[in-house]
Amino acid sequence: MAAMDLSLQQLRGFVAVAEELHYGRAAQRLNLTQPPLTRQIQGLERTLDVRLFDRTGRGVRLTAAGGVFLEHARRVLALLEVAPEATRRAADGTTGTLRLAFTAIGAYAVLADFLTMVGKRTPGVTAELTELVSPAQFEALANLEIDLGLVRPPIPAQFESLLVHSEDLVLAVPASHPLALGDGAVSLVDVTDDYIGYSPEGSQYLHDICAAMIGMDRYAVSQLASQVPTMLALVRAGLGCALIPRSIMAMGVEGVRYRELDAADAHSVTLHACWSPDNPNPALQRLAESLRLDPRLTT
Amino acid sequence: MAAMDLSLQQLRGFVAVAEELHYGRAAQRLNLTQPPLTRQIQGLERTLDVRLFDRTGRGVRLTAAGGVFLEHARRVLALLEVAPEATRRAADGTTGTLRLAFTAIGAYAVLADFLTMVGKRTPGVTAELTELVSPAQFEALANLEIDLGLVRPPIPAQFESLLVHSEDLVLAVPASHPLALGDGAVSLVDVTDDYIGYSPEGSQYLHDICAAMIGMDRYAVSQLASQVPTMLALVRAGLGCALIPRSIMAMGVEGVRYRELDAADAHSVTLHACWSPDNPNPALQRLAESLRLDPRLTT
DNA sequence: TGGACCGATACCGTGCTTGCATGGCCGCCA
DNA sequence: TGGCGGCCATGCAAGCACGGTATCGGTCCA
């Protein structure tokens, strides 16, 4: 009994006939002759086992079922209509999704501004955010699990990258600490207490820099943390001082004071946007292209 | 160059390959061999001018555009999937729309109950309501502009109908009227005032009945209205009495009292559901079939 | 480096769909 | 009321698109 299924030709034919209520005109509209149209509708009616038109000798009239099927057919054709354009836009990166990772510390400094910049350069692209430490980001970038990372150096040579932010470190001290009072720059040699250190796994870059600044002997003795809020909580509890990226100062924490470091001790830390040139995501390619042409991050 | 457009075969092929990420398995799933699938995808890519898969030698991988197109293809196929069933349901009246008309007066008495009854007999069918006087309903029924009417007699022979409601008339009098006080039955001969009459156009049936009950001489002299609320407002204003279907008593109006009529004067008025047997609306046919089998309106 | 796997291509056969011509039915009009 | 025109349905032959078989070419793995 012909369990044949619907074809788009049938749908288009049906919609044309339903709108014209006249096989001849509908056929003309479809650049067709009338007999094929008749057979298309017949096939449709046989497949659906439903009469779609009342043949009244004088033209045709939609049945109630025909009206329902008309709505469905129109929706199918409308969806089919927009699919190619949507696909092309996804292919050239006009629309799409950017899977973006950031370090816990990086988020505080630049994530919001970076997202704004991405939104301006590639409108229509949405971002999916994940927090990952830098080494995990490099692995995820290589596996195409993310498209873009906000990472600390060093950056493996296989990736393309752009300096996003550079800032120096400041000293966070407990409010009860002698150094909490002054407001000029302090030298690291004035700090006699322990330090709250960065975890060498979670924040290798900051760990290494701080270790170099202070010396491993004193740096290693205290708590290790990688989340900045955790570190500030430990500072506040009086367990020691900490070296913190300047941007974190925006985060006021009761019981914690910040001091500038002497120019001799200051050391800047950087954050980089980083991506794989091999990544096939068109949205990323479009953003990368834009960044190559104009690497400025403002505006 | 082939500005060829999409085919459902291509869509199904694409979805299968996108889900299996393997031409051979996808072909197997579609009861096909692999070469046609290759050509379908190639045709798709040519039509869209977009690469949908990355061929990596070892299997294939969806591109970002391919992922977008996959969603569209799935939606199209899903819509197409449900269309036949929805159409069949519309054809047998399981779903559909019933265009229902009612008289202004009929609405107060029985419309809600009637709709409840329709909802029980033909669940899935929705009602579209219009208010029309009975003659207009007959015309609309004949023109297939409505499917079902709630009308007053007489009903033209071409229609099928069912008694929906029968009730007698009661007398509405102004609160200031002498008759407003007692609570037994009154006789029409006790009414010495004018009557608020029904419009012979808007409410021909009630007009005729009342005219017969009272006599044209006294009935014709007063205000004519067809909307019951209007009539009650006129009664309340002391312009006269009115004969009102009993069900309207449920509508309490300040300043209006109701009195029973003597059995000798009581006259019942009826309301009928009415439809055209030729109406092709399957929802109506299903309801009519149900009413023929069991004309009781309760439950 | 040879074998296995996988997608692409070449070629051929078949079956669907189209167009042309015509039939059948209904409504209109003289 | 009979002829005519409009409209949908049908018969038939031709074209073409799609599927299957066989084979190629490239990649990965042992």
Q: Can you give the pLDDT at residue B70?
A: 94
Residue recorded with tokens 């995501």: A281
Element (H, E) at A210: helix A204-214
Q: Can you give the pLDDT at residue A221?
A: 55
Whether B34 has a pLDDT exceeding 90, the answer reads yes
Q: Can you give the pLDDT at residue A292?
A: 93
* Separation of A186 CA and C1 C1' (Å): 69
Task: State whether residue B96 sits within 8 Å of chain A by CB.
Answer: yes
Residue with more model confidence, A45 or B296: A45
Where, residue-wise, is CATH 3.40.190.290 in chain A?
A: 165-269
d(CA B91, CA A246): 72
| B169: number of Cβ within 10 Å | 22
Residues of B in contact with A285 (CB under 8 A): none
Whether B245 has a pLDDT exceeding 70, the answer reads yes
Nearest CA-CA distance, residue A40 and chain B, Å: 15
Residue recorded with tokens 């419009």: B199
pLDDT tens digit string along A106-119?
777 789 899 999 99
Is the dihedral angle over the CA atoms B233, B238, B243, B248 positive or is it negative?
positive
Where, residue-wise, is CATH 3.40.190.10 in chain A?
A: 98-164+270-293
Q: Can you give the pLDDT at residue A72?
A: 94
Average pLDDT over residues B264-271: 87
Q: Are the beta carbons of A280 and B64 separated by less than 8 Å?
A: yes
Whether A140 has a pLDDT exceeding 60, the answer reads yes
pLDDT tens digit string along B43-53?
999 999 999 99
Residues of B in contact with A49 (CB under 8 A): 88
Q: Which CATH class for the B8-91 domain? A: mainly alpha
Least confident of A51-60, A62-71, A117-126, B163-172: A51-60
Whether B178 has a pLDDT exceeding 90, the answer reads no
Residue recorded with tokens 């409505």: B146
Residue A295, exposed/middle/buried by CB under 10 A (0-12, 13-18, 19+)?
exposed
Where, residue-wise, is CATH 3.40.190.10 in chain B?
A: 99-163+272-293, 165-269
Chain A residues 14-43 within 7 Å (CB) of strand C: 31-36, 39-40, 43
What's CA A262's distance to the chain center, in Å? Answer: 38
pLDDT tens digit string along B192-222?
777 888 888 777 888 888 888 887 776 755 6
pLDDT tens digit string along A57-69?
777 889 999 999 9
Nearest CA-CA distance, residue A97 and chain B, Å: 9
Whether A4 has a pLDDT exceeding 80, the answer reads no
* Separation of B158 CA and D4 C1' (Å): 33
Average pLDDT over residues B244-251: 85
Q: What percent of chain B has pLDDT over 90?
A: 52
Q: Are the beta carbons of B69 and A82 separated by less than 8 Å?
A: no
Q: What percent of chain A has pLDDT over 90?
A: 53
Return the CATH number of the domain spanning residue range B99-163+272-293.
3.40.190.10
Average pLDDT over residues A212-230: 74
Q: Which residue is nearest to nucleotide C9 (CA to C1')?
A: B35
Average pLDDT over residues A180-189: 84
Q: Number of CB pairs < 8 Å for A and B?
A: 114
Read off the pLDDT band of A15 (50, 70, 90): very high
Q: Can you give the pLDDT at residue A248?
A: 85
Q: Can you give the pLDDT at residue A208?
A: 86
Read off the pLDDT band of B141 (50, 70, 90): very high
d(CA A154, CA A6): 58
Q: Can you give the pLDDT at residue A164?
A: 92
Architecture of domain B165-269: 3-Layer(aba) Sandwich (3.40)
| Average pLDDT along chain A | 88
d(CA B197, CA B228): 10
CB contact at 8 A, A44 and A82:
no
Q: Can you give the pLDDT at residue B222?
A: 62
Torsion of CA B153, B155, B159, B164, to 10 degrees: 10
Read off the pLDDT band of A267 (50, 70, 90): confident
Residue with more model confidence, A149 or B252: A149
Torsion of CA B235, B236, B239, B240, to 10 degrees: 40
Nearest CA-CA distance, residue A162 and chain B, Å: 24
Least confident of A61-65, B90-94, B185-189: B185-189
Q: Can you give the pLDDT at residue B186?
A: 87
Classified by CATH at the fold level, domain A98-164+270-293 comes out as D-Maltodextrin-Binding Protein; domain 2 (3.40.190)
Amino acid residing at B127: A
d(CA A157, CA A143): 16
* Separation of B74 CA and C6 C1' (Å): 26
Whether B2 has a pLDDT exceeding 60, the answer reads no
Whether A215 has a pLDDT exceeding 60, the answer reads yes
Least confident of A153-162, B166-175, B216-225: B216-225
Chain B residues 49-108 within 7 Å (CB) of strand C: 55, 58-60
| CA A47 vs CA A53, A122, A163, B85: distances in Å | 14, 47, 62, 11
| CA A188 vs CA A109, A167, A205: distances in Å | 24, 18, 19
- The count of C-alpha atoms lying within 13 angstroms of the C-alpha of A35, restricted to the half-sphere facing its C-beta, is 0
* Separation of B128 CA and C17 C1' (Å): 42
Q: Can you give the pLDDT at residue A2?
A: 52
d(CA B46, CA B39): 10
Whether B1 has a pLDDT exceeding 70, the answer reads no
Nearest CA-CA distance, residue A6 and chain B, Å: 8
Average pLDDT over residues A170-174: 91
Average pLDDT over residues A166-174: 91
Q: Which residue is nearest to nucleotide D25 (CA to C1')?
A: B57
